[in-house]
Copies of this chain bind each other. A is one copy, B any other.
């Protein structure tokens, strides 16, 4: 599944590619999030034009709407949304714990209420894989218990035990029932290094196609985030793709890649775009800012995306000020273009043995002060 092309000299950063049923994805890769079967404010034409070949969709949301029956009738989400490249689906676990008002653990899984209408549902490791089978993703994630940042040792230990039991059930069920779908296990353990190492060792003993880190970038201080990555990085199996879930910001991705991560996803570039925050080679820009009123320059004069080629900060500010949908679309396009180029340049830097400089340069612009 994963072929490594190149290793960085002074870090664990590496480039390679993943073959997903014929779709070749260069790594390290950032995946845009298409929560409900659409990248918010963008068309697939745009996604393709930018260059993305791997996107993420959320099992929890799709299970609630449009629901499994419709996805089954359409022979999967790709057909439903008219998408031809690669797809990763999460397990729904994270959304149950963060979105759903109420949830309750059972031996076999977790009961929860829909955040939309309060209706009652149940997810088990087998059921979420089965839903992902119906969705027809190329990469399916196992159900895990993702405790919030700040959970005590007892809660973390219980989470780990549960996550590991579910992981074992998942890989057994998945290897039997799923075909043409890779299955990734998810490491938990909060910011407790011992628990993280324990969890990693347990999961890497199972025949997962890839290893994901969950429960990071969930509110912990940046030093703890970096520490976990630094301590765990050297123990990550080099032959399998490593996926850091829900990450993230420019510095968080840099930190991840430095410690050997291959895959990322986050709503940040799309969500922030809709709120008027865009990214440039000089840092973040708030499009709603008064100072851009008369500005005829683009978001980033160094960017060659169609938004920067055609539209001024002044016009984009106007669109955001009055709430025109076009403002959301153009900003989202630019941000996803920025992320795509950022990852592309990073891969190049790794291959040119200049990842260290690349890391420092971007940290100086976007890093924590």
Which residues of A are in contact with B by a Cβ distance under 8 Å?
Answer: 36-43, 45, 65-66, 70, 73-74, 80-82, 293-294, 296, 306, 310-312, 314-315, 318-319, 321-322, 324-330
- Structural contact, B43 and A318, CB atoms closer than 8 A: no
The number of times this chain is found in the oligomer is 2
- Structural contact, A70 and B325, CB atoms closer than 8 A: no
Contact partner, A80, options B36, B42, B82, B314, Cβ 8 Å: B314
CA distance A157 to B42 in the complex (A): 51
Contact partner, A43, options B70, B81, B315, B326, Cβ 8 Å: B326
Q: Which residues of chain B come closer than 8 Å to A329, judged between CB atoms?
A: 43, 325, 329
Known contacts A315-B81, A318-B65, A318-B80; A324 and B70 CB within 8 A of each other? no
Known contacts A82-B310, A325-B328; A318 and B42 CB within 8 A of each other? no
Known contacts A73-B294, A330-B43; A66 and B318 CB within 8 A of each other? yes
Contact partner, A70, options B38, B294, B311, Cβ 8 Å: B294
Closest partner residue, chain B, to A77 (CB atom)? B315
Known contacts A42-B326, A73-B294, A330-B43; A315 and B37 CB within 8 A of each other? yes
Provide 12 A-B residue pairs closer than 8 Å at the C-beta atoms, listed in order of the A residue. A38-B325, A38-B326, A39-B326, A40-B326, A41-B325, A42-B326, A65-B321, A70-B294, A74-B312, A82-B311, A82-B312, A325-B328
- Structural contact, B311 and A38, CB atoms closer than 8 A: no
CA distance A244 to B325 in the complex (A): 28
- Structural contact, B65 and A322, CB atoms closer than 8 A: yes
- Structural contact, A36 and B296, CB atoms closer than 8 A: no
- Structural contact, A70 and B330, CB atoms closer than 8 A: no
CA distance A225 to B40 in the complex (A): 42
Q: Which residues of chain B come closer than 8 Å to A311, judged between CB atoms?
A: 82
Q: In the complex, how many angstroms separate the beta carbon of A325 from the nearest chain B beta carbon?
A: 4
Q: Which residues of chain B come closer than 8 Å to A81, judged between CB atoms?
A: 315
